[in-house]
């Protein structure tokens, strides 16, 4: 019999998550309410810093938008980020009428290159948005030092990075102005759709809370559960619709409790891949420095220059063998919008371009068995041998 298709990613949802969602449905409060507040409090406790403020939102994209808006980014400003990311990282800058300055990556880590960041700073630069690619922390000490020297804000795109560490500290507790996590279906923990904005700045957090729900100064839960009836509110700004529902938060409450166990299993799978692919014309996924934690959201390998097969044909052979895989990412400089708006060419981003032409993300999720991993390894060997 033909083996069943092995997907690129699957969430791991347990009975605790299911029971919490059912409890939410039975409670009658399914939009933003007590479960969302509990998830925010649990997330702050998970990060372990009492000075942090947490704001639950319906996506990491929303969180990035809210953070930059609260920092006052607007028309005439410029924000530096990496070309090697999903478009959401950059598009939120355009939402605000500001411009994006894309820079290249470090070829060893695939993370944003701090030297390229500093070289790109100009008179309009107001902020840096580093991305922790695949769950490996960007060089945050260098980036934060650059930001301090030039008076710039830093918003971390930590969509891949729970529970990643940098310098022994969890991402989310570093010296940036805000950090934004993703709980999309394929992330290290999931709420289906969702995200969390984290900051030490109470004014930024308050602005984000107001702007995530139409610019109202009181949300429905506050209004409808007050001991003294109070239906009034004020619209203080033209806000957005970015709130996280209690149904989604119910998933997050229990996913968060399993985040470290999930990371450990992902790390085991990554180690199995590295051992199984040894000796093949494949560059393994970058590992974290000693003493640091890699979240292993992705296991992205690169075909070596002597692999003897083009990346796209390699992916076709894996799919023919029943293995789901992906590419992270098609760099922004290759997409028509970003290419045409800023006149970008691959030659401006040699490291990202070189990586992209060889990158393949192999399946990596906690429900994979060791046998599943070995099946992927065998499929890679056969694809290369063919």
Q: What angle do CA 170, 271, 380 make, to 5 degrees?
A: 125
In angstroms, the CA 364 to CA 375 distance is 13
Pairing of strands 99-103, 125-129: unpaired
Q: What angle do CA 112, 358, 307 make, to 5 degrees?
A: 140
In angstroms, the CA 107 to CA 127 distance is 23
Q: Which segments of the chain are extended strands (E)?
A: 53-57, 78-82, 99-103, 125-129, 153-158, 165-166, 169-170, 178-182, 195-199, 282-283, 299-303, 359-362
What number of CA atoms fall less than 13 Å from residue 276's CA on the CB side?
Answer: 21
Q: Is 97 helix (H, G, I), strand (E, B) or coil?
A: coil
**Which of the residues 35, 101, 187, 227 is marked catalytic?**
187
Does residue 35 have an active-site annotation? no
Give residue 280's Cα distance to chain centre. 29
Residues facing residue 224 across a β-bridge: none
Angle, nearest 10°, between helix axes 88-95 and 60-70? 40
Count of other CB atoms within 10 angstroms of residue 311: 16
Contact 194, 244 (CB under 8 A): yes
Q: What amino acid positions are annotated as catalytic residues?
A: 187
């Amino acid at each position: 019999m033909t083996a069943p298709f092995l997907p690129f990613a699957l969430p791991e949802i347990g009975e605790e998550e299911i029971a919490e969602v059912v409890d939410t449905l039975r409670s009658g409060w399914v939009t933003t309410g007590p479960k969302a507040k509990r998830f925010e409090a649990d997330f702050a406790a998970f990060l372990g810093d009492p000075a942090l403020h947490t704001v639950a939102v319906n996506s990491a994209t929303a969180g990035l938008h809210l953070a930059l808006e609260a920092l006052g980014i607007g028309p005439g400003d410029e924000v530096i980020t990496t070309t090697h990311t999903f478009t959401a990282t950059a598009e939120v800058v355009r939402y605000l009428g500001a411009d994006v300055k894309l820079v290249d990556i470090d070829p060893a880590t695939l993370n944003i290159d701090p030297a390229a960041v500093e070289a790109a700073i100009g008179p309009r630069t107001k902020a840096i948005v580093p991305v922790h690619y695949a769950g490996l922390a960007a060089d945050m000490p260098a980036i934060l030092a650059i930001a301090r020297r030039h008076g710039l804000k830093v918003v971390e795109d930590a969509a891949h990075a729970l529970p990643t560490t940098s310098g022994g500290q969890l991402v989310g507790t570093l010296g940036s102005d805000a950090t934004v996590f993703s709980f999309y279906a394929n992330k290290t923990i999931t709420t289906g759709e969702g995200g969390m904005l984290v900051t030490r700045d109470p004014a930024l957090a308050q602005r984000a809370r107001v702007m995530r729900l139409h610019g109202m100064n009181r949300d429905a839960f506050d209004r409808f559960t007050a001991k003294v009836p109070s239906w009034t509110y004020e619209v203080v700004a033209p806000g957005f619709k970015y709130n996280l529902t209690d149904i989604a938060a119910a998933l997050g409450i229990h996913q968060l409790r399993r985040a470290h166990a999930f990371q450990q299993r992902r790390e085991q799978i990554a180690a199995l891949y590295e051992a199984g692919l040894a000796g093949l014309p494949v560059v393994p996924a970058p590992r974290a420095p000693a003493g640091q934690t890699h979240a292993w959201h992705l296991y992205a390998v690169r075909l070596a220059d002597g692999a003897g097969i083009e990346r796209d044909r390699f992916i076709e052979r894996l799919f023919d063998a029943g293995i789901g895989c992906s590419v992270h990412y098609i760099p922004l400089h290759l997409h028509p919008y970003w290419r045409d708006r800023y006149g970008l060419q691959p030659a401006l981003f040699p490291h990202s371009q070189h990586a992209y032409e060889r990158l393949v993300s192999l399946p990596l999720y906690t429900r994979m068995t060791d046998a599943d991993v070995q099946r992927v390894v065998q499929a890679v060997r056969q694809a290369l041998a063919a």
